[in-house]
């Protein structure tokens, strides 16, 4: 069906040019809101009506006449009809829908993927300073960012996952001082315990390891503690390495590995911050007032100009951000996406303004942003706010320990990033259709069970590519095949819109189509040719479920507890 749709779109494009020479309208199909209206809908007639000053229904008829003359429409389309103000509803021949089964089985894990191209994409996400464990906000970033990277890979892009963090500054100084206080025997609540100190139990863990002169190894650094409680620099370096190692363990538990780590301190040590400031001054985009250096960000859509260098001499936090993104662009990344919390909204205009003011060839709108809302965690009907380990928040490791990696990933991707989200631990543990990840995984496991039973009765999976697909004519089969055929379009649309949640939505819809089919049609105990065709459809559905789950970093189990209980009588 993928080839059929490609042929039909090309023919539609030709017909549009015949009706309106020079029209810039792209050929496109929509999915009708009701299955009874057909398989595809076309709105081209309504879009052309105004510029052509013609009645849209008359244009629709002219388009239908032109399309009926096209070989692709003669091959793949059963009927077309005009509806409403000028919609064209298109009903495909069964063969067009059935073709997707062979296409999926032939492409396997590559189904839906585009050929490799020269596009270099960087996604920066998590980017937590090494001052404590990763919290649920970082967890949402991890889920969104990793899925987005996988999406871009399906579209043929070369993708880099980057983790950016500040290894110096006030927060790191607070970490070092907090650890030193623990080393000196102080704890939260004691007289002399700093009000700004970090209170989590993990600070004591760092202090104990420091006294033991341990060596810690993280993805980007290694450090051995001196054991000297007066050596604040050693404490600082050890604490940073210790927590980077802890973050690595969090990310390993999540099944995520970054390709590169970038230190904010390197922007200063390499001179990139000073070079960026010099460019902005030389380009006449700055001014001095009140002893501070300002950037004219209002020239680029910001609501007010921003301080770059404070009167006491230090740079504000967006200045290294500008230098960092110049560095990204100069490393050859034509598209960069930052996944950050919604509290970063105010930085977008000033960073983009600074990049334009630097005038180094960076296009407007660079970089892209996905801003996510925070997560509320519920357990036992009550909100969970405190983790003993972290001291004041629920950690990524807490979520994984309470549920599973699969549940955390699927749940945190399963809503639009800019919406509030409640992570219900009790729901994530349910083994029923209320739990969306279980619902999808169970569809995959149930299909595996049916295919195992078919093989046990003498079926041979190697014969599925030669199955007589013309036997797949039931309405639920048609609906399932149309959903399979929509997978490549969904992937490209999700990548273009920076919408990894679309993959989770698609999975729930595909699982629903499968469950409806399973309830309506028997697969086994049919004529051998019909059983073989239906097993081929199930095998294609299993493949697409697995492919989409892989994009989200979620497993596709072949056996699940409820499915085991049903296997002996599975769709007999």
* Interval 514-527 mean pLDDT: 94
Q: Does residue 216 lie in a domain region?
A: no
Per DSSP, what are the bridge partners of residue 273?
none
Q: If pLDDT is split at 50, 70 and 90, which confidence band does 389 have?
A: low
Q: What is the pLDDT of residues 174-228, one digit of tens each?
A: 999 999 999 999 999 999 999 999 988 899 999 999 999 999 999 889 999 999 9
Closest by CA to 459, choosing from 530, 396, 388, is 530
- At 291, list the tokens: 């002893």
Q: If pLDDT is split at 50, 70 and 90, which confidence band does 273 have?
A: very high
CB 176 within 8 A of CB 275: no
Which of 42, 57, 92 terminates a domain? The answer is 92
Which of 92, 123, 152 terminates a domain? The answer is 92
pLDDT for residue 387 is more than 70: no
Q: What is the pLDDT of residues 55-74, one digit of tens each?
A: 999 999 999 999 999 999 99
Rounded CA separation 171/203 (Å): 14
DSSP for 395-446 reads: BHHHHHHHS-HHHHHHHHHSS-TTS-EEEEHHHHH--STTSHHHHHHHHHHH
pLDDT of residue 388: 54
Q: If pLDDT is split at 50, 70 and 90, which confidence band does 306 have?
A: very high
* Interval 110-116 mean pLDDT: 96
Q: What is the DSSP letter of 231?
A: -
* Interval 498-505 mean pLDDT: 98
pLDDT of residue 571: 57
Q: Where are the beta strands (DSSP E) in 238-296?
A: 260-263, 286-289, 292-295
Q: Does residue 35 lie in a domain region?
A: yes
Q: Does residue 149 lie in a domain region?
A: no
| Domain count across the chain | 2
pLDDT for residue 518 is more than 60: yes
Range of the domain at 495: 436-569
- Position with higher pLDDT, 151 vs 39: 151
Q: Does residue 84 lie in a domain region?
A: yes
Q: Does residue 81 lie in a domain region?
A: yes
- At 297, list the tokens: 């960000």
Q: If pLDDT is split at 50, 70 and 90, which confidence band does 568 have?
A: very low
Q: Domain holding 495: CATH number? A: 1.10.730.10
pLDDT for residue 386 is more than 90: no
Q: What is the pTM of this model?
A: 0.89
Contacts of 9 (CB under 8 A, 6+ apart): 27, 28, 29
* Interval 106-112 mean pLDDT: 97
At which residue do the structure tokens 């690595």 appear? 248
pLDDT of residue 4: 87
Rounded CA separation 279/241 (Å): 34
Which of 92, 111, 138 terminates a domain? The answer is 92
pLDDT of residue 390: 58
pLDDT for residue 284 is more than 90: yes
Q: Does residue 410 lie in a domain region?
A: no
pLDDT of residue 564: 47
pLDDT of residue 34: 80
Closest by CA to 151, choosing from 508, 411, 494, is 494
pLDDT of residue 565: 45
Q: Does residue 557 lie in a domain region?
A: yes
CB 380 within 8 A of CB 426: yes
- Position with higher pLDDT, 314 vs 459: 459
pLDDT of residue 443: 97
pLDDT of residue 36: 79
- CB neighbours of residue 337 within 10 Å: 21
Q: Does residue 292 lie in a domain region?
A: no
CA distances for 561 relative to 430, 432, 439, 508, angstroms = 12, 11, 13, 20
**What helix, strand, coil percent values describe the chain, rounded to 5?**
55, 15, 30
pLDDT above 90: percentage of residues in the chain: 88
Q: Domain holding 78: CATH number? A: 3.30.1360.70
* Mean pLDDT rounded to a whole number for the chain: 93
Closest by CA to 179, choosing from 159, 194, 157, 163, is 194
């Amino acid at each position: 069906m993928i080839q059929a749709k490609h042929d039909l779109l090309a023919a539609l494009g030709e017909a549009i040019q015949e009706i309106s020479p020079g029209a810039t309208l792209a050929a496109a199909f929509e999915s009708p809101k009701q299955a009874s209206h057909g398989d595809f809908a076309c709105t081209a007639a309504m879009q052309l009506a105004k510029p052509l000053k013609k009645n849209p229904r008359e244009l629709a008829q002219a388009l239908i006449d032109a399309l009926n003359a096209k070989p692709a429409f003669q091959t793949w389309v059963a009927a077309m009809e005009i509806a409403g103000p000028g919609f064209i509803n298109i009903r495909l021949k069964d063969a067009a829908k059935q073709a997707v089964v062979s296409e999926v089985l032939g492409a396997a894990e590559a189904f839906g993927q585009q050929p490799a191209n020269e596009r270099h994409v960087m996604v920066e996400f998590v980017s937590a300073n090494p001052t404590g464990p990763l919290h649920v906000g970082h967890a949402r970033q991890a889920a969104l960012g990793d899925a987005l990277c996988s999406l871009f890979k399906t579209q043929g892009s070369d993708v880099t996952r980057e983790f950016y963090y500040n290894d110096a500054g006030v927060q790191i100084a607070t970490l070092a001082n907090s650890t030193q206080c623990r080393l000196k025997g102080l704890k939260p609540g004691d007289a002399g315990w700093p009000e700004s100190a970090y209170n989590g139990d993990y600070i004591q863990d760092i202090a104990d390891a420091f006294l033991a002169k341990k060596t810690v190894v993280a993805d980007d650094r290694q450090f051995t503690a001196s054991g000297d409680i007066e050596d604040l620099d050693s404490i600082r370096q050890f604490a940073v390495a210790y927590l980077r190692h802890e973050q690595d363990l969090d990310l390993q538990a999540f099944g995520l590995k970054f390709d590169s780590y970038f230190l904010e301190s390197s922007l200063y040590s390499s001179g990139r911050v000073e070079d960026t400031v010099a460019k902005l001054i030389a380009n006449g985009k700055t001014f001095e007032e009140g002893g501070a250096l300002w950037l004219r960000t209002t020239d680029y859509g910001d609501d007010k100009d921003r301080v770059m260098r404070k009167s006491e001499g230090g740079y504000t936090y967006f200045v290294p951000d500008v230098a960092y993104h110049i560095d990204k662009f100069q490393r050859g990344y034509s598209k960069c996406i930052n996944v950050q919390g919604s509290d970063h909204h105010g930085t977008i205009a000033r960073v983009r303004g600074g990049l334009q003011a630097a005038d180094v060839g960076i296009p407007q709108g660079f970089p892209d942003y996905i801003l996510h809302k925070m997560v509320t965690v519920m357990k036992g009907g009550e909100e969970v706010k405190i983790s003993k380990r972290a001291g004041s928040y629920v950690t990524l490791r807490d979520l994984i320990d309470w549920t599973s990696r699969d549940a955390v990933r699927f749940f945190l991707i399963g809503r639009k990033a800019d919406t509030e989200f409640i992570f219900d631990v009790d729901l994530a543990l349910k083994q029923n259709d209320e739990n969306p990840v279980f619902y999808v995984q169970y569809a995959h496991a149930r299909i595996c069970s049916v295919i195992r039973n078919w093989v046990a009765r003498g079926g041979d999976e190697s014969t599925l590519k030669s199955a007589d697909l013309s036997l797949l004519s039931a309405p639920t089969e048609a609906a399932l095949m149309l959903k399979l055929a929509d997978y490549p379009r969904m992937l490209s649309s999700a990548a273009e819109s920076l919408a990894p949640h679309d993959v989770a939505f698609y999975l729930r819809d595909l699982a629903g189509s499968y469950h409806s089919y399973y309830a309506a049609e028997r697969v086994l105990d049919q004529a051998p040719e019909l059983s073989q065709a239906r097993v081929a459809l199930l095998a294609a559905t299993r493949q697409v479920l697995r492919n989409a789950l892989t994009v989200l970093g979620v497993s596709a189990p072949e056996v699940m507890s409820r499915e085991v209980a049903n296997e002996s009588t599975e769709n007999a």
